[in-house]
Amino acid sequence: MKAIQVISVGLCLAAGYIARAEEINDSQVAMYIWSDKYVYQAGETITLRYTLKPNGDTYPYSMVLLRQNNQTGAKVYLPKNSEEISDFFGNPAENFKAAPVEAAEKKILVENLPVPNELGMHTFILQLRDSEGNRVLKAAYMKIGVVEGFEDITGNITSDRTLVNTKAYRLGGVVFVKNNATLTIEPGTFVFGQPGSQPPSVLVVTRNGKIMASGTKSRPIVMTSSLPFGERQRGDWGGLILLGRAPINVGANTSQNNRAGEFFIEGLPASEDTVYGGTDPDHDCGTLRYVRVEYAGSIFAPNNEANSFTWGGCGKKTKAEYLQAIYGLDDSFEWFGGTMDAKYLIGGLGADDYVDFQLGYTGRVQFGIFYYNADSRGNRGIEGDNSEYNQSATPLSKPIMYNLTFIGGGVPGFDEANSPGIYLRRGSGGEFNNIVVTNFYSPGLDLADAATQAQLDNGNLKINGLLLWNNGLGTNAPNTISGQVSSNAATQGCAQGTRGQCKMFVVRDPNMKRPFEWSDPDFRGYFSSPIFRTGWVQPPDDGFFDQTAYFIGGVGEVAWWEEWTSFLQDVDIKK
């Protein structure tokens, strides 16, 4: 086994303030670890690799590497592979070694480690602790599954079925959950889409089915590509689609539909299994909690891709929280009508939009972080429509959204030249509050057409609390209110507070910690960040919104994405 160099972390610089890592219980080091693959069976061995970037941090850390059985909580310390607590160099807890970290890229951390004979999800954790070995100042995680074998899922699921975390599953073709069946997925389960299958792999929960996929922070449910690390691509498989009976605003005699109040979900051929919409605002499509969807968005026909997460006509009893979409070929999260709510969403490195709604969506969303870089070239942060078939259709698309952060890649959109941070069109309404938009090639905000501008004037469209910075990069737009938004009169009037119910437009650097460290980002603000300024609008006390969110954007002081997410770029882990 190869030894690794010890690490260092030290000074935190923010607007002239200097703090030692130990003083803020934090670190400026960027660090990530990864294994050969996600799923292993008994008899195999594991190699862990790591990349470490000190970023000028010279604090002397003690370092601990361990594996935790997420079913039992039992810990084994490496490289000794022993339950006895030790640092990475074999020193006991009372005598941890501390030293500054050194830069490393794709180096071996431990190799030929036997796969534990313990089924279920396990986590490898690399910790940087204070110099005494007490507090954890920085941690990197890698989730793996130990399984007894693989099982193929094809055709329809027509009776209750449970996917267990002691197996891994391969999804082949379009799989419908129907006939009043419930698909339950245990925490810590891996489901693999099969690139190249015809039709592409996709999981569809019909109006006559339900899904219960309730993971945990330590045991998220991972739905991903079956290709090896470093070879995965956006669109390797289809994604996850949930269909319900809540209202939508599509009437009869559209180009694709002749049944009022119902429609066929995009991305799939029209059939009774792809219908959504109805008259039940409380319809329950199921539960998604701590679920990751990676490398989704297969193309079923030209300009007809599946999204990572799609909800069509899902109602208020539907649960959606702690969800991550990464490397999707189409939208990260899209709602077609319905009334359902969602919290704690992460979308990154996709090729289209990150939050997309249309056809009468009236749900609530709070806490989201959405980003792309110059390589992934996503499109819009929010793309909101009322209806492309009838811009005055009812119910009006009127979601209420709080605490979202959108980070552009500074380059033109993937396939849409005009790709603003927030793009509202086709008569959309809604309330958009406490949102950060930064680094978009196009403007930060664009109210696209007369129908949408009319909603601004009649009070159906409100924007309260918008922090803008470095948008309009394609035209070298100045960091002024007028420079950060579209030049059309309605958008300018909204930004200046002279048209519609628009308030608190602020142009300042959000001063986030590591928003562009793509495999290990930190979207929190430094102490001096305007994210924490007083006066941002308080979310309503309606039983859904968290009123303690006194900040603007998707995150305050707590990194709620810690452990259950994966930000790894394939380019950063490819051998």
The bridge status of strand 275-276 relative to strand 263-264 is: antiparallel
β-strand partners of 11 = 20
User: What would the pLDDT profile of 67-101 be if each residue is shown by its tens digit?
Assistant: 999 999 999 999 999 999 999 999 998 899 999 99
**Percent of the chain scoring above 70 in pLDDT:** 94
Q: What is the CA radius of gyration of the chain?
A: 24
β-strand partners of 183 = 161, 211
pLDDT at 20 over 70: no
pLDDT score, position 7:
33
Phi-psi region of 55 (alpha: psi -120 to 50; beta: other; left: phi over 0): left
Residues near 113 by Cβ (< 8 Å), separated by ≥ 6?
A: 45, 46, 47, 48, 78, 81
pLDDT at 3 over 50: no
pLDDT score, position 5:
34
pLDDT score, position 252:
60
Where along the chain do its domains lie? 11-146, 149-340, 389-564
pLDDT at 287 over 60: yes
pLDDT score, position 257:
62
β-strand partners of 177 = 157, 205
Give 549's pLDDT tier (boundaries 50, 70, 90).
very high
- Average pLDDT, stretch 540-562? 97
pTM of the predicted protein model = 0.94
What CATH code is assigned to 11-146?
2.60.40.2550
Residue type, 38: Y
Q: Write phi, then psi, for 484 (nearest 5 degrees).
A: -95, -5
Q: 3-state DSSP call for residue 473?
A: helix
Q: What is the 3-state secondary structure (H, E, C) of 514-561?
A: ECCCCCCCEEEECCCCHHHCCCCCCCCCCCCCCCCCCCCCCCCCCCCC
pLDDT score, position 267:
85
Q: 3-state DSSP call for residue 87?
A: coil
Average pLDDT over the chain reads 93
User: What would the pLDDT profile of 397-416 be if each residue is shown by its tens digit?
Assistant: 999 999 999 999 999 999 99
pLDDT at 11 over 50: no
Cβ-contact 527, 183 below 8 angstroms: no
User: What would the pLDDT profile of 437-448 be if each residue is shown by its tens digit?
Assistant: 999 999 999 999
Cβ-contact 422, 391 below 8 angstroms: no
User: What would the pLDDT profile of 216-259 be if each residue is shown by its tens digit?
Assistant: 999 999 999 999 999 999 999 999 999 999 999 997 655 566 57
User: What would the pLDDT profile of 195-219 be if each residue is shown by its tens digit?
Assistant: 988 889 999 999 999 999 999 999 9
pLDDT score, position 300:
83
